[in-house]
Amino acid sequence: MRPLRTFLATAVASAIFLTGCASQQSPVLPNGVTFIEQSSADSNAIHIPYQKYQLDNGLTVLLSPDSSDPLVHVDVTYHVGSAREQLGKSGFAHFFEHMMFQGSANVADEQHFKVVTEAGGTLNGTTNTDRTNYYETVPANQLEKMLWLEADRMGFLLPAVTEQAFEIQRETVKNERGQRVDNRPYGRLWERVNQAMYPQDHPYSWPVIGWLDDLDRGTVADLRQFFQRWYGPNNATLTIGGDIDPAQTLAWVNRYFGSIPAGPAVVDAAKQPATLDVDRYISMEDKVHLPLLYIGIPTVYARHEDEAALDLLAKILGGGKTSIFYKNMVENGFAVQAQVGHPCRELACELTLFAIANPSKGAELSKLEGIVRESIAEFERRGVTAEDLAKAKVQNEARTLYGLQSVSGKVSTLAYNQTFFGQPDLTEVDLQRYNNVTEADVLRVFNTYVKDKAAVIMSIVPEGQRELIAAEDNWQPQPITADMSSLGMPQQQVVITDSFDRSQVPEAGPNPVITMPSLWRQNLANGIEVIGSQSTETPTTEILIALNGGNRLLDPAQAGLAQLTAAMMAESTESLTSSEFVQELEKLGSSISISSSGYRTYVSVSSLSRNVDPTLALLQQRLWHSAFNATDFERVKGHHLQNIQQNANRPEWLAGAAWAKLTNGEDNPQGWPQAGTLATVQALTLADVKAFYQRQFSAGNASVVAVSDLPQAEIITKLAFLGQWQGEATPLPPLQPLPTIQPKIYLLDKPGAAQSVIRIGKRSNKFDATGEHFLAGLMNYPLGGAFNSRINLNLREDKGYTYGARTGFSAGPELGQFVASASVRADVTAESVQEFITEIQRYHDNGISADELAFMKASISQRDALKFETPAQKARFLGKILRYDLDDDFVQQQADIVNNVTVEQLNRLANKELKLEQMAILVVGDKASNLENLQQLGYEVIELTL
């Protein structure tokens, strides 16, 4: 794949190459900082630039200068995840991810979120089995402030770990588990499989989020000891990328982190791939519609010499529509989904094979298991072709390149590689690692790790349908018998001496100059408008064709037709079958996708710029020569119907469907799920799809966005074929009268739900970029538009009722709405509704405060620095300009509004828009446990059905 790297070397040198040798480029260093190394240029290689340093306390520091956008990304990765926990004390690493946002000695409770949000930035943290990371992306002038925040929670967290904060976050973690695991279809799959895959004392045998019993058992003392053991600077990597001055950045790093003492020594854990002697069958019943079969086979560990070949084996077996699994499972109608993967972690990897049964061919998972085994045997008979490997390798290169489009992507890659392998930039090494895999390598790892090997085989079946499991369980988890004593780390009083006052928040530098993407406009021969921007950081091209209409063109009785048509256009063309079409795309490392929304159908194209011409040739087939054959239709429609039934088990989907009906009415297409219902989709025919295609795919409905490293003239030449497209714009049917929204509670029963989904709201203004809709968003920001909003701080941080609560105004070209929403613990459903009501009423009555106004202005005025970094972000920005016919400088107009808006203006709007007597309240949850409490709130409660 040398042509790609050669092209990169000339096209994006300024973005991803660092010239010079280490001895020549290191800046003058502060005392206590040691230079280690930096990347050096190679004209035939892809590199992420970095400079590596180490503080005397062991903190590893990586700097990656990139002046292409006025932003910085800060990442602190601790080499501690759930694998560092003790048996019986699971969930501590993830618990700490939450606790480290709750303030420290010099940062007040909830101040971390406020500081970052007010700076116009974004932030988060994540935990997995092997590491925890915290990160912020902010305008470049805010870097010192971010380093102050991160250093304070590294060195000064424990004084803020109070019993009250501990209990609130314990409830928040339980809510997260309820929302992401217990209340989600198939949500317990991974924790059950890992129990069976690994011995009880293996660090991957328990879930990252923890067992509920362990969460209940944990104490503040446990948490403090866990922090002291693992969160020292010598177990961390600080990575900073973006528009930075390396010398100044190092000085700040040393100032804030240098005096923090090292923690206990940390030794890398031994690699521990699983071993199985016999197949382990396990099963569970769940609130699902379709049975799922999962097979996990233990393999190696991350960066083992066989990892790359195993990854490519997984891709060939079941990585997409051209794979053996897709052909045997999905194309032949036995499954609605089927895939093979090879996820790798620090200590162990597994080959994973799963399929969701299609009841039209019988839902017995024993039958699916037989097809899985026959598919593996077919691979053995067929072997590996040169084309198999070529496709997988070019896709790997494309993924690597797309990962370099953002500063956060580069920083995350550097941090990951340093944490686990001690080498920050392995980009070129990894490309070579995959490109060097041979057909013989793939066959060898198949024979070594997969053929005739024991596996964990899990069946998840609908409640009451155990007859569908693949086989009777032959393995059960044993009760945990573990030492529940402390970690053996005595509490230590650490005194840190500084020459400055850490309680003082650093001042931000001057606001960076925000350069809007330069754009160009040109019409094709038939009048189609094209808007574009040149982005030279990576040699890639993004093209988005938007067709006005979408779901809005439909009669309500045809709900689901727009989505079904989009799905059919991912199938055969007149000259290529579905798998042949995908195979051609895979050879190019390109993608073409079609999707439908409420008011539009989108055709999205991503390509390496060197492969744009053959990709657009395939696009022509997709746009104008789709086959719409009956065989594809029956399969696609069948899958669509199964997905609708599957969605009926998802509380959030049920809430969306019920809310659409309440606010938009059954006479309008917006009042129905965009996927349709069983009744509407069952009635749809192939003739309906063809007719909708004729209405939707017309030149008069189309506009085009292009973001590429190629210049305007070259892009227009390549898009000239679209100028041959014919057809007039399709008028929208008249909107029917909308229902009157009643101030009542509407309860949709979800028996046994672990959480309740709440929506409270009303209709509001349609979209406008500089009028009342935009102002409503500003008004709402302190109420429920930011993490540290009144709503979220109340329900999540103060009460522990939810993992997250929010309010917001959303709008399209005709309709808009205000919605307050959250998924809450089932046992506090009525209390949560009451808190929403109280907060909305208080904001209606009293409005925004002067401090909240200042916070909102600071936050929103600075966040534009983060909006236009990647080609995809630029494409979305240009697409909005086209869709709503906005002025090219509408962002500056918005900035002027933000700077000049007053408390009085926003309070008048709050008084107008936040009238509870105009709002409906929807609850999707367990009727038996919630009905009586909801009735006590003083609203009429109406039971809904869908």
In a domain, 846, yes or no: yes
452 pLDDT above the threshold of 80: yes
Among the candidates 695, 724, 753, a domain finishes at 724
> What is the distance of C-alpha 63 from the center of its chain?
26
- Model pLDDT, residue 871: 84
Write phi, then psi, for 201 (nearest 5 degrees): -95, 5
Question: Per mean pLDDT, which of 492-501, 576-585, 935-944 is the most reliable?
Answer: 935-944
Q: Do 8 and 97 belong together in one domain? A: yes
Mean pLDDT value of segment 8-33: 49
- Model pLDDT, residue 160: 84
Residues facing 547 on adjacent strands: 601, 702
Q: Do 452 and 528 belong together in one domain? A: no
Q: Do 196 and 312 belong together in one domain? A: no
Give burial (CB, 10 Å; 0-12/13-18/19+) of 732: middle
- Model pLDDT, residue 463: 93
Q: Do 712 and 829 belong together in one domain? A: no
943 pLDDT above the threshold of 50: yes
Residue whose C-alpha is closest to residue 128's, from 183, 170, 78: 78
In a domain, 83, yes or no: yes
Question: Do residues 944 and 746 lie in contact, with contact meaning Cβ atoms separated by under 8 Å?
Answer: yes
**Contacts made by residues 244-249, CB under 8 angstroms, sequence distance 24+:** 244/63, 244/65, 244/72, 244/140, 244/143, 246/27, 246/51, 246/63, 246/65, 247/27, 247/28, 249/63, 249/143
Tally the domains of the chain: 4
Task: State percent of the chain over pLDDT 90.
Answer: 71
Q: Do 540 and 686 belong together in one domain? A: yes
- Model pLDDT, residue 109: 83
Determine the Cα–Cα distance for residues 480 and 201; give it in Å rounded to an integer.
9
For residues 489 and 738, which has the higher predicted lDDT (pLDDT)? 738
Mean pLDDT value of segment 432-458: 96
Among the candidates 468, 488, 508, a domain finishes at 468
Q: C-alpha distances in angstroms, 829 versus 654, 755, 789?
A: 17, 8, 20
Determine the Cα–Cα distance for residues 120 and 141; give it in Å rounded to an integer.
11
Q: Do 301 and 378 belong together in one domain? A: yes
Determine the Cα–Cα distance for residues 892 and 899; give it in Å rounded to an integer.
11
Band of the pLDDT at 484, cuts 50, 70, 90? low
Mean pLDDT value of segment 677-685: 96
7 pLDDT above the threshold of 50: no
Question: Do residues 704 and 529 lie in contact, with contact meaning Cβ atoms separated by under 8 Å?
Answer: yes
Please spell the DSSP secondary structure of 55-103, one letter per residue.
ETTS-EEEEEE-TTSSEEEEEEEES-SGGGSPTT-TTHHHHHHHHTTS-
- Model pLDDT, residue 482: 63
- Model pLDDT, residue 43: 58
CATH of residue 884's domain is 3.30.830.10
In a domain, 733, yes or no: no
Question: Do residues 686 and 628 lie in contact, with contact meaning Cβ atoms separated by under 8 Å?
Answer: yes
Please spell the DSSP secondary structure of 596-650, one letter per residue.
E-SSEEEEEEEEEGGGHHHHHHHHHHHHH-B---HHHHHHHHHHHHHHHHHHTT-
In a domain, 35, yes or no: yes
- Model pLDDT, residue 2: 30
14 pLDDT above the threshold of 70: no
Mean pLDDT of the chain: 91
For residues 406 and 766, which has the higher predicted lDDT (pLDDT)? 766
- Model pLDDT, residue 876: 87
Residue whose tokens read 């746009």: 623
For residues 868 and 884, which has the higher predicted lDDT (pLDDT)? 884
SS3 820: strand
Determine the Cα–Cα distance for residues 152 and 870; give it in Å rounded to an integer.
31
703 pLDDT above the threshold of 80: yes
Band of the pLDDT at 862, cuts 50, 70, 90? confident
606 pLDDT above the threshold of 90: yes
Q: C-alpha distances in angstroms, 587 versus 239, 318, 339?
A: 35, 16, 19
Among the candidates 453, 468, 483, a domain finishes at 468
pTM listed for this prediction? 0.85
In a domain, 152, yes or no: yes
Residue whose C-alpha is closest to residue 409's, from 540, 312, 234: 540
In a domain, 931, yes or no: yes
515 pLDDT above the threshold of 80: no
- Burial pattern 169-199, b for ≥16 Cβ within 10 A else e, equals bbbbbbbbbbbebebbbbbbbbbbbbbbbbe
pLDDT tens by residue, 205-237: 999 999 988 888 888 888 888 999 999 999 999
Helix or strand (DSSP H, E) at 365: helix 365-382
- Model pLDDT, residue 487: 57
Q: 500: Cβ–Cβ under 8 A, 6 or more apart, which residues?
A: 255
- Model pLDDT, residue 236: 98
In this structure, the dihedral spanned by the alpha carbons of residues 49, 54, 59 and 63, taken in order and rounded to 10 degrees, is -20
Mean pLDDT value of segment 898-909: 96
Q: Do 247 and 292 belong together in one domain? A: no
- Model pLDDT, residue 17: 37
8 pLDDT above the threshold of 60: no
- Model pLDDT, residue 11: 31
pLDDT tens by residue, 765-823: 999 999 999 999 999 999 999 988 999 999 998 898 998 999 999 999 999 999 999 99
Tokens for 615, please give them.
């990709």
Task: State percent of the chain over pLDDT 70.
Answer: 95
19 pLDDT above the threshold of 50: no
Band of the pLDDT at 485, cuts 50, 70, 90? low
Which amino acid makes up residue 827?
Answer: D
Determine the Cα–Cα distance for residues 590 and 584; give it in Å rounded to an integer.
9
Lowest mean pLDDT, pick from 461-470, 608-617, 861-870: 861-870
Q: Do 755 and 720 belong together in one domain? A: no
Phi-psi sector, 582: left (phi>0), alpha (psi -120 to 50), beta: alpha
Q: Do 817 and 686 belong together in one domain? A: no
- Model pLDDT, residue 791: 96
Residue whose C-alpha is closest to residue 918's, from 662, 740, 754: 740
Q: 845: Cβ–Cβ under 8 A, 6 or more apart, which residues?
A: none
Which amino acid makes up residue 394?
Answer: V
Q: Do 177 and 238 belong together in one domain? A: yes
Determine the Cα–Cα distance for residues 320 and 117; give it in Å rounded to an integer.
39
pLDDT tens by residue, 96-155: 888 888 889 999 888 888 899 888 899 999 999 999 999 999 999 999 999 999 999 999
pLDDT tens by residue, 109-121: 888 888 998 888 9
Determine the Cα–Cα distance for residues 144 and 130; give it in Å rounded to an integer.
28
Lowest mean pLDDT, pick from 217-221, 541-545, 715-719, 907-911: 217-221
> CB neighbours (10 Å) of residue 286?
18
Q: In what order do the strands lie in the sheet with 591-596?
A: 520-523, 529-534, 702-708, 540-548, 600-608, 591-596
Tokens for 312, please give them.
């490519």
Q: 337: Cβ–Cβ under 8 A, 6 or more apart, which residues?
A: 330, 354, 355, 356
- Model pLDDT, residue 3: 31
Q: The domain containing residue 50 runs over which residues?
A: 2-257
Question: Do residues 106 and 503 lie in contact, with contact meaning Cβ atoms separated by under 8 Å?
Answer: yes
Give burial (CB, 10 Å; 0-12/13-18/19+) of 262: middle
In a domain, 864, yes or no: yes
CA atoms within 13 A on the CB side of 930: 33
- Model pLDDT, residue 398: 85
- Model pLDDT, residue 483: 61
In a domain, 496, yes or no: no
Q: Do 284 and 250 belong together in one domain? A: no
Lowest mean pLDDT, pick from 146-150, 458-462, 514-518, 775-779: 514-518
Q: Do 105 and 242 belong together in one domain? A: yes
Band of the pLDDT at 403, cuts 50, 70, 90? confident
Lowest mean pLDDT, pick from 366-375, 450-459, 518-527, 532-541: 532-541
